[in-house]
Structure formats: structure tokens, C-alpha cells
Amino acid sequence: MIAGAAVKNGVIKGDLYLAGSGDPTLDTDALADLARKLKAAGVREVRGNLRPYGGALPSISEIDSSQPDHVAYNPSVSGLNLNFNRVHFEWKRTGNGYTTTMDARSGKYRPEVRVSRIKVAPREVPVYTYKDKGSYDDWSVARKALGKGGSRWLPVRKPEAYAAEVFATFARSQGIALKPGKPVNKLPKGGSVLATHQSVQLRDILRDMLKYSNNMTAEAVGMSATAAAKGQGGTLRRSAQAMSQWADAALGMSGAKFVDHSGLGSASRVSASAMVRALAKVHRNGALKPILKPIALRHENGKANKGHPIKVKAKTGTLYFVSSLAGYMTAPDGTELAFAIFASNDTKRGKINRKTGQRPAGSGTWNKRAKKLQQKLIERWGAVYGS
């Protein structure tokens, strides 16, 4: 929190800035704590506006424009991110209609928000529609898809305004009078820092990113790395291009061309052999394998085989009719191998209706077959190279 003017008798006669530095893990609980810190700093009123600042990173409204509007794995990214830039949508049947809420829930709190709004529409498909209404995200959902009740996360397209609205709610609960204002592109010179929030260590962030396949974290970390190496500015595409050049020079990933840092964009290209070269290279310093997720090999009935002689730590990648697995396997004799398996059915993916919001027929069965193939390849490599 940065004050644009001096604090006199608890009053800031100017704007207050909620400035993000690119942390992808900021959540609602942290904003509540930040509001408490601001009160402890003696602030009780802001005469100007609360100005959110996300300029530490390039701001994008979505990672990949070819994805369906409503999928939470394709949110916005900026220097100011909240709850992985997702809003929680919940609905309950009440008589002949539904009550709906949009909130920024986390572990302790569930503040409702107006920067993302939704209405129930009398239709069957598409399940969701989205419109940018300037000051807020406007969603609609098909009544036929709701059933008795439920919930899901929707992406946020206005991350700075989202974070500012939630923070303002907590500031007011602390007795601090303020009102949210429009996002800004620059911070004031000579502003005084009144309260801060520190993220966890990068290693912990990356471990969770790999475990939960969080695209927003990957983009924020990737763009932060580019900003640290080359300075701020540019676009996601330029940042991905810089990563491609670095991966070629430092990891031997010749031919790799990325359009983002998460791998969500279908225009990215990398071969399995290039991925294996990179995995083998980074294995030498021991940094990657410990933060990868253990992958259970399975019995024929699908249950985890805890006694399987081959151990795997890897990263999965899953979309409709796409399944990948890359990482390390330890063979029965202790031999360690790097591997990468990429599988997709471009024909079936090309037939997906991205606007309906429905799971394409056959995608679940296809994914199960792909995972069985991955295990058979791993078991074959274990027999050939490590038994």
C-alpha cells in the first residue's frame, strides 16, 4: 500500500495505491491482513481514491483467446492478481428460480463482488456467455444447465479492479473510509509505503504450480523472469519468445517456440526430444525433480499400485484430446531416466464446439487410453534400461 500524499491525523489527502509486484498467489485472506496493517499504520480515511496498479507485468485479459470464455484455467494476468484471477460463482434453487452469488472466497472470507456479475438466461446452450461491460465482467448462464444447485470458478478479466473492490471491502470493515478508483499505469514519485504483503518463497510457488497445473502462476512467473532479465514492458508473446531463446541457449531445447509460459496456446511447439534434453540438463543441479509431483502407476483396475517397482515424478498436461507427461522415472535397479510423452488427436480437437461449454463426447475415454499408453511406455523403458 502506497500513499500518494502524507498521512496527517489519520487522513490521506490524496490517492492510496494498491500496488502489485506480480505475485501470482495473493488471496483474499492476504488482502484482509493488508487492511489490518493499514489501520495499524494509523490510516482512517482516504480523501482521494483507491488506485490499483498492475503495471509490474504486462496486463492480458486472457492467456489464450481460442479457449472457451468460461474456463478458469484461462484467466487474465497482470502485476496485481487475486485468487488466481478467478471469481466463485454459486447458485441455489429457490422456488421457480435461482439465487446466485459471485464472491472472492478464500480460506476465511467470502466477500461478494460487483466487478463480476451473472444472470440466469432461459436457454439450453451455450452454457455460459461473456461480455466486457467496461467497468465489470458480464456473464450469463443457461438455466437448463444449473440443476438444483452448485458452484464453480469463473475467470476474472479485470484483475486490478477485482483486487481493489475486495480490498476496499476489508478496509471499510476496519473503519477506513475510501472508495475504489480506476486502475493506474504509473505509481507516484515519492509515495510512502504504509503496508506490505510478502509472498512465499518462489520454490514453494513453483511446487504448487506444478502440482496443480496452474496456468496463471506459470504466466506470472515467466513474465517476471523476463522483466528481471530484460526490463519491464513488452507482451506475453515477446516474453515467451525470450523464454524460447533462453531455453535453446541454456537447455539445448533447439526448435522450441513458445507463445506463452503455461503451454496453453496451441501455437507453441516443442519436441519430446527437446524436452528430454532440457530435463536431463536441469537434473544435474537437483532443483527440478524434488518439486515435481509423484505420479502413481496403476493396476489394471485403475487403482494406484503403491508397490510398483518404477517410481515417477513428473508434470502432467491435459486438455480435451491432449495428454502429456514429462519428468523423471527411477527404474527397478535405481537407474534414473528423463522422459517426455506427448499425445493428441488434432482431428477430434478441431471438432470441439468451444462455445457450448460442454465436455466433448469421447474425451474422457480418450484421456484414459492416453494415460494407459504412458504407463506402458514407462514400464517398457524400465525393463529395457533399468532391470
- CATH number, domain with residue 298: 3.40.710.10
Q: Which residue, 143, 164, 193, sits at the end of a domain?
A: 193
Identify the DSSP state of 303. -
- Tell me the residue range of the domain where 297 lies: 202-385
- What is the per-residue pLDDT for 355? 67
Same domain, 141 and 24: yes
Q: Please, what is the average pLDDT of the chain? A: 94
CA distance 168 to 196: 16
Q: Which residue, 193, 222, 244, sits at the end of a domain?
A: 193
CA distance 55 to 276: 35
Which of 129, 118, 147 has its CA nearest to residue 356? Answer: 129
Pairing of the two strands 336-344 and 322-330? antiparallel
Same domain, 145 and 215: no
- What is the per-residue pLDDT for 80? 98
Confidence of residue 357 (pLDDT cuts 50, 70, 90): low
Contacts from 130-134 at CB under 8 Å and sequence distance 24+?
A: 130/69, 130/70, 130/157, 132/61, 132/157
Same domain, 274 and 358: yes
User: Residues 223-252: what's their mean pLDDT?
Assistant: 91
> For 197-214, how does the pLDDT look when each residue is reduced to its tens digit (9 = 90+)?
999 999 999 999 999 999
Burial class from Cβ neighbours inside 10 Å (0-12, 13-18, 19+) for residue 38 reads: buried
**What is the dihedral angle through the alpha carbons of 199, 76, 326, 288, rounded to the nearest 10 degrees?**
-20
Confidence of residue 234 (pLDDT cuts 50, 70, 90): confident
Same domain, 159 and 23: yes
Same domain, 100 and 246: no
**Which parts of 283-356 fold into alpha helices (H)?**
346-350
- What is the per-residue pLDDT for 60? 95
Same domain, 98 and 135: yes
- What is the per-residue pLDDT for 78? 96
Q: Which residue, 193, 214, 249, sits at the end of a domain?
A: 193
Same domain, 93 and 164: yes
Confidence of residue 79 (pLDDT cuts 50, 70, 90): very high
